[in-house]
Amino acid sequence: MREASTPSRHPRAWRLLALLLTFGLVAAACGDDSGDGGDGGGDGEGEGAITSTTVESDVDEVTTGGTVVVALEAETNNWQPGVGSFSNPGTNVARAIYDTIAARGADGEIYPYLAESIEPNEDLTEWTVTLREGIEFHDGTPLNAAAVERNFAVISADDSNLLGVLAQVEEFRVDDELTYTYVLAEPNVAFPDYLTGATGMPFSPDAYDANPDGFGDEPVGAGPFQFVSWTRDNEIRLEKNPNYWRTDANGNQLPYLDELIFRPIPDEDSRFASVEAGDAQVGQTLRQSFVRRAREAAENGNMQTFEAIGNNGGGAIFNTLRPPVDDVRVRQAMAHAIIQEDLIEILGGTGITPPQTQYFSPDSPWFSQEVADAWPQHDPERAQELLNEYINDPNRSDGKAVGEPVSVEFNTPPDPSLILTSQGYESMWRAVGIDVTLNSVEQAEHIQNAIGADADPPFSGNYMINIWRMGANEDPYITLEAAFGPWESEPTNFTNYTSDNVQEQLNVLATSTEFEERYAAVESIMMEFTEQIPNTWTAGTATALYADNAVRNLAGWTIPGDVQGDGVMNSTVYWSEVWLEE
């Protein structure tokens, strides 16, 4: 990490949903969520593919004041870190109320934000944070080490959805007024990554102590906007924090806006129409068809759009403990049967999202062209050869007689785009001789089936194949350890796949600060997956913020020290530098 040397173990599954939210491992439309783009231009796969998520900060001649209404895809259950499910919509609101200890720059590095510095000890088992001086919460309570210590007691409690992340912290130590240290059970070079999210969002301990049960309904943070009112499923209204600690590069007090209003509008058409009609000034979409619709409106001059494709991608996960997909020959055959371009077309993503081959996008420093070249291509003849090997194996794992066809079950939530995508998979698999049973499963059940808390053995999954979303814009150790740690103890290893090599390379990622070593470890794991196929890929997933043309600087937010932020990744931003043009 910059100004801190950059470059989890998670507990058993009683905190599973917390981990799902933390790592973004939720079922979703293949190719319908995540980020890496700017204005829709670029030279990616297909004309108009998304390439950059950040634009140059636009604050030379700002207009201060005004109200911006933001239309979000969903409501959030609670605004308290450790209770609230801060997914894409919730993160947008949380970043207005709370500032984070650290933030991700446009270069992918983690930088101090509320912190002055974040430093590890030599063996990466301690991370020491020094806060900036003079920062106060909205109620005037000082932000200091004692305040963060009081926060830590709350967010690490048994009922916190951050317990899974914080289980690795053996001790929280206050060193002086502005300095504190996380003492970890094991080395973790990626620990600062956690401080860019809810784990790193300090809140007023005095306000919490005064109303612990109701704090999430009336939150008090140290961010650029402070709470005014919340009508659940209607709107949360925030006003400018007059004592905010930041100024812009020209010395102007932040934030620029007087008021922010966030409105959950779950229906995509209604949300888009609200921005078209001027009832809202900013809208959010995680659906490729609406990424395209926003792009078309921007091309016509009716609005602007900021797109993103990051390391998150859609596809299908295999339960590698469940016959017949416990056999690598079957998984390889199913990968060779897929025509990725046709699935992307079904999703409306042609020209927007390229085919995915690994957990990292082509714009990521962790991307490997060698892995991309090795990923199984559409080859129905090879698929049938592999299936015939399995079918004619007298010891085939599904217990069927030699010569009987392979039968699989494929689960999908009842979302229209997911159903169409799963039908595309079904057609391709049937074309090589696989019998496919397609099941529609409600989202909550879909996730619980992947967890498989009541499976035998426990947490081994109650599914065979699930449509799924994979990956995250985090340090590769955080992403890959969660997804491929030992399945007996790592509840978010939904595929139940791991190996000695994967564990060896995860140890390198946890303990090495050398990029070349870490890159080699990531590439080794990804190359293994091209053979073992714990999951298939469809495409990277696209998101967008679309906005009235008068809204400025959505993707140009900065980190103290004149560092460019990571723009609109996952259709989320920091709001202090957004302004309205007169």
Contacts of 517 by beta carbon, 8 Å cutoff, 6+ apart: 508
Give the helix/strand (H/E) hosting 172.
strand 169-176
Domain locations in the chain as residue ranges: 310-475+532-541
* pLDDT for the residue numbered 464: 98
Q: What is 310-475+532-541's CATH topology? A: Dipeptide-binding Protein; domain 3 (3.10.105)
Give pLDDT tens digits along the chain (582 positions).
544 333 332 333 333 333 343 333 333 434 333 333 223 222 333 334 443 456 777 777 899 999 999 999 999 999 999 999 888 899 999 999 999 999 999 988 999 999 999 999 999 999 999 999 999 999 999 999 999 999 999 999 998 989 888 989 999 999 999 999 999 999 999 999 999 999 999 999 999 999 999 999 999 999 999 999 999 999 999 999 999 999 998 999 999 999 999 999 999 999 999 999 999 999 999 888 899 999 999 999 999 999 988 888 899 999 999 999 999 999 999 999 999 999 999 988 888 888 999 999 988 899 999 999 999 999 999 999 999 999 999 999 999 999 999 999 999 998 888 899 999 999 999 999 999 999 999 987 998 899 887 888 888 999 999 999 898 888 999 999 989 988 887 778 999 999 999 999 999 999 999 999 999 999 999 999 999 999 999 998 888 999 999 999 999 999 999 999 999 988 999 999 999 998
Strand 126-131's sheet: what is its strand order? Answer: 115-120, 126-131, 179-184, 169-176
* pLDDT for the residue numbered 1: 52
Give the other-Cβ count within 10 Å of 269's Cβ: 10
* pLDDT for the residue numbered 54: 62
* pLDDT for the residue numbered 13: 33
* pLDDT for the residue numbered 15: 33
Q: Kindly state the tokens that stand for 418.
A: 């997911």
* pLDDT for the residue numbered 363: 84
Residue 112, strand partner residues: 102
* pLDDT for the residue numbered 53: 57
Closest CA to 469 of 506, 502, 421, 527: 421
State the pTM of this model: 0.82
Q: What is the residue whose two structure tokens read 């956690």?
A: 194
Contacts of 207 by beta carbon, 8 Å cutoff, 6+ apart: 137, 139, 141, 215, 218, 220
* pLDDT for the residue numbered 516: 97
* pLDDT for the residue numbered 49: 42
* pLDDT for the residue numbered 34: 33
Cis peptide before 416 (omega within 30 of 0): no
